[in-house]
């Protein structure tokens, strides 16, 4: 599964994550990437 988070004002992608799951019980989150502008605001 791929997850992206967009800023509604600028329409820019500000975060992304990749999740591997068996679809039933377990999920592992990989590759969490957050924009420097969001990190600077202290949100991540």
pLDDT score of 43: 82
pLDDT at 41: 87
DSSP reduced 3-state for 15? strand
- State the DSSP code for 24: S
Residue 21 bridge partners (DSSP): 27
Tokens of 25: 């019980």
What pLDDT was estimated at residue 38? 87
Per-residue pLDDT tens digits for 1-44: 999 999 999 999 999 999 999 999 999 999 999 999 889 988 87
Q: Starting at the earlier edge strand, list the strands of the sheet with 2-6.
A: 2-6, 13-21, 27-34
Among 28, 5, 7, 31, which Cα is nearest to 17's? 31
Give the residue extent of every domain in the chain.
2-40
């Amino acid at each position: 599964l791929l997850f992206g988070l967009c800023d509604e004002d600028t329409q820019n992608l500000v975060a992304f994550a990749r999740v591997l799951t068996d679809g039933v019980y377990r999920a592992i989150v990989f590759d969490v990437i957050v924009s420097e502008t969001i990190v600077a605001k202290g949100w991540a």
